[in-house]
């Protein structure tokens, strides 16, 4: 059994409108949401063994805040420039390259690619959660999808079961 956690970066700040998109930081609301999602992951989802993240400032900050809430040995973290604003096929290709027996991988990234990937991989699960996810994948939203597989190279569209879809507003 494999578990994939897809986490959209937390809300970014627009205080500096001339700042390049890649360099935007988190807003106060985003900082709070990332911390809340980190606590939720610690209590409910278990610690991922590997985190693959876009290398943008806001995804790095989101990862840092989530890690601060996790107990035990920290997971391996890989910041990958190829995940910045990546298309679903690019994210899936990167996932399929995961080796080393990690059974729980988290991807921290951006919409619309992350949202589209979550929808394409989900074939079953709680109908209301799937509908909620289909409508919107907000900042700091977390989709947890499980696969009846032992190798990341074997995951396919519609083969996953949506175990959980959480948005920060529900945790406050």
pLDDT in tens, 25-73: 999 999 999 999 999 999 998 899 999 999 999 999 999 999 999 998 9
At 17 the pLDDT is 85
Average pLDDT, the chain: 95
3-class DSSP state for residue 37?
helix
Enumerate the domain spans of the chain: 2-9+22-170
Q: Please tell me whether 60 is known to bind a ligand.
A: no
Rounded-to-integer distance, Cα 40 and Cα 71, Å:
12
List the structure tokens of 135.
């409508």
Q: What is the pLDDT of residues 66-99, one digit of tens each?
A: 999 999 899 999 999 999 999 999 999 999 999 8
**Fold topology of 2-9+22-170:** Rossmann fold (3.40.50)
């Amino acid at each position: 059994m494999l578990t994939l956690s897809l986490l959209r970066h937390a809300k970014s700040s627009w205080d500096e409108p001339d700042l390049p998109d890649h360099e935007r930081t988190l807003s106060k609301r985003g900082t709070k949401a990332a911390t809340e999602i980190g606590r939720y992951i610690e209590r409910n989802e278990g610690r991922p063994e590997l985190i693959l993240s876009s290398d943008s400032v806001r995804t790095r900050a989101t990862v840092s805040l989530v890690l601060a809430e996790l107990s035990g040995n920290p997971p391996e973290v890989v910041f990958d420039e190829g995940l910045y604003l990546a298309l679903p096929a690019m994210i899936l290709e990167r996932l399929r390259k995961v080796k080393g027996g990690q059974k729980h991988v988290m991807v921290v990234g951006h919409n619309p690619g992350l949202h589209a990937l979550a929808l394409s991989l989900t074939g079953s699960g709680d109908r209301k959660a799937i509908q909620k996810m289909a409508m919107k994948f907000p900042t700091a939203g977390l989709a947890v999808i499980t696969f009846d597989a032992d190798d990341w190279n074997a995951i396919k569209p519609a083969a996953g079961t949506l175990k959980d879809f959480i948005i920060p507003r529900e945790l406050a």
